[in-house]
Amino acid sequence: MTGPKSPDSSDEAQNPERSAVLGEKKIPAAVVKRLSLYTRALQNLERNKVEKVSSTALAGELGLNSAQVRKDLAYFGQFGVPGFGYHVGELRQHLKHILGTDREINVALIGVGHLGKALLSYGGFHRQGFRIMWAFDVEVRESHVGVERVPVYHTSELDRIIREESIELVILTVPAEAAQGIADRLVKAGVSAILNFVPTRLQTPDHVKIHYVDLAIEMESLSFYLR
Amino acid sequence: MTGPKSPDSSDEAQNPERSAVLGEKKIPAAVVKRLSLYTRALQNLERNKVEKVSSTALAGELGLNSAQVRKDLAYFGQFGVPGFGYHVGELRQHLKHILGTDREINVALIGVGHLGKALLSYGGFHRQGFRIMWAFDVEVRESHVGVERVPVYHTSELDRIIREESIELVILTVPAEAAQGIADRLVKAGVSAILNFVPTRLQTPDHVKIHYVDLAIEMESLSFYLR
DNA sequence: GCGAGATTGTGAAAACGTTCACAAATTCGC
DNA sequence: GCGAATTTGTGAACGTTTTCACAATCTCGC
């Protein structure tokens, strides 16, 4: 019923990976991901007492192009010294500030199943400075889980605690059927970033950022490359 | 010491996400990932007894553009019927065949830590038809783990069993220090696809396909979008 | 079995991301 | 302190991916 010159008008074409706005520039999502990679590479260099690094060296470490490294950093300022490179410690501080990981971020995990429990015990988050402080489930079997003894609350307390504790980031590991319902409540309570392990496309307002980690898809698409 | 007209000659610029070759055409990695998404969406439709679907409907389900769906499918053939759409069951069969998930794939998991154990218990793989049949660790605490009671072997048996059982796909959840060493052994033993949860860039020959799942990076890059 | 309506498959255009290439800036050995 | 060597930051070129737009094709109700 649309005009003859308006094909496919029902498409919304909202590609899941969009770009962010910082100040005036638009930062591509891929750049933000690489910023994280740079941070970790710098961390390793620092541990090895390396004090300077060139874009070429950093790029080599990560299998990237040196111009890309320089361009990525140039989105946020001029951190390098021509003829020298980058000061490792300094650049790392800058990046941590840009990423917002130089402050405490309150993280909760919802859905204490196999995967949820594993993530609560997983060392990788801690090492990057993330502390999951709350866990929720529809059924509270143990009051505390994981090495860090994270307290487990019933989902009925979700909305209250999220609000009271200003939880901004949530890891979602609930069954597929429950995901959208929980997401709606999270958004209402003020959560603005979700790391979603549930293989369901979540419907949320634009200001809420969702990253999808889809393990089954990773396996399936790998299988394509087998011979 | 390179010629004056050859800048940055040490860069290799091998972007981690490259494309695959099928017959003559090059299939972008992003297309393969979406193929998996389509497969799952079709699975859901089938469960709900839906027998036909248009590119617009499928795209809407996944937040994509309808032309993209059609183009993606067009890489592999003409599966649709103008004026009608796609037959759900038929298209799904086609896609499963293209992805190679219509046959048994032998999968092993290496590194039975928190994350490894969780993945062995995780239902998501099973639902998509993947069975992890072997697990390996440097220390065998239990002879069988997970709901499916997967046998755990010592890593010294890795090379032999990989070869004997024709294991093609491996899930890697070992500590960072061990990752490259294990990867080298896997490649020698004939593994050609790795799902790598270790935050380390693995050095492997071109014919080995690696997908990286980097949970810490996902968290960090999410934090960028908080306010 | 005809015709209005729906939907595909696909060239062409637009958007986006990466790499090249080089002037400008700084270093550092002597 | 000079000058060769190094390395940044960035416009322009290039390549890839996504979206548009529409002719060709098929459906399905009457």
Q: Do B211 and A220 touch (CB under 8 A)?
A: no
pLDDT tens digits for range B26-56: 899 999 999 999 999 999 999 999 999 999 9
Among B98, B225, B226, the strongest candidate for a mutation testing the A interface, having the largest count of A CBs within 10 A, is B225
B137 closest CA partner among B169, B115, B167, B163: B115
pLDDT at A15 over 60: no
> What pLDDT, on a 0 to 100 scale, did the predictor assign at position A20?
52
pLDDT at A4 over 70: no
High-pLDDT (> 90) share of chain A, %: 81
| Band (A11; pLDDT cuts 50, 70, 90) | very low
The partner residue sitting opposite A223, judged by closest CB among B37, B100, B117, is B100
Q: Which of A9-18, A48-57, B59-68 has the lowest mean pLDDT?
A: A9-18
Find out whether B208 and A227 touch, Cβ atoms under 8 Å.
no
Higher pLDDT, A113 or B11: A113
pLDDT at A135 over 60: yes
* Span A28-53, average pLDDT: 96
* Span A45-56, average pLDDT: 96
Find out whether A225 and B192 touch, Cβ atoms under 8 Å.
yes
Find out whether A201 and A215 touch, Cβ atoms under 8 Å.
no
The integer distance in angstroms from the CA atom of B50 to the C1' atom of D27 is 18
pLDDT tens digits for range B89-118: 999 999 999 999 999 899 999 999 999 999
Distance CA A219, CA B161 (A): 21
Dmax (CA) for chain A in angstroms is 67
> What pLDDT, on a 0 to 100 scale, did the predictor assign at position A18?
44
Helix, strand, or coil here: B31? helix
| Band (A24; pLDDT cuts 50, 70, 90) | low
Which backbone phi and psi does B85 adopt, to 5 degrees?
125, -140
Q: Which CATH superfamily hosts domain B106-219?
A: NAD(P)-binding Rossmann-like Domain (3.40.50.720)
| Mean pLDDT of all residues belonging to chain B | 89
Q: Which of A187-196, B84-93, B120-129, B147-156 has the lowest mean pLDDT?
A: B120-129
Which backbone phi and psi does A69 adopt, to 5 degrees?
-60, -50
* Span A130-136, average pLDDT: 94
Per domain, the residue ranges of chain A are 20-99, 106-219
Distance CA B167, CA B174 (A): 18
pLDDT at B199 over 70: yes
Site of tokens 């999968």 = B107
Q: In Å, how far is A176's CA from the nearest CA of chain B? A: 10
Q: Is the CB of A82 under 7 A from strand C?
A: yes
Q: SS3 string of A175-186?
A: CHHHHHHHHHHH
| Band (A147; pLDDT cuts 50, 70, 90) | confident
* Span A77-93, average pLDDT: 97
Class for the domain spanning A20-99: mainly alpha
Which residue pairs from B153-158 have beta carbons closer than 8 angstroms and sit at least 24 positions apart in sequence?
B155/B110, B155/B182, B158/B110, B158/B182, B158/B185, B158/B186, B158/B189
Q: Which residues of B touch A219 (CB under 8 A)?
A: 107, 125, 128, 130, 169, 195
Q: Which nucleotide is closest, CA of B56 to its C1'?
A: C7
* Span A77-90, average pLDDT: 96
Which residue pairs from A160-166 have beta carbons closer than 8 angstroms and sit at least 24 positions apart in sequence?
A161/A108, A161/A134, A161/A136, A162/A108, A162/A186, A162/A189, A162/A190, A162/A191, A163/A189, A163/A190, A165/A106, A165/A108, A165/A133, A165/A134, A166/A106, A166/A190
Find out whether A125 and A185 touch, Cβ atoms under 8 Å.
no
In this structure, chain A runs to a length of 227
Interface check B44 vs A, CB under 8 A: no
List strand residue ranges (DSSP E) for B49-130, in order. 52-53, 86-87, 106-110
Interface check A100 vs B, CB under 8 A: yes
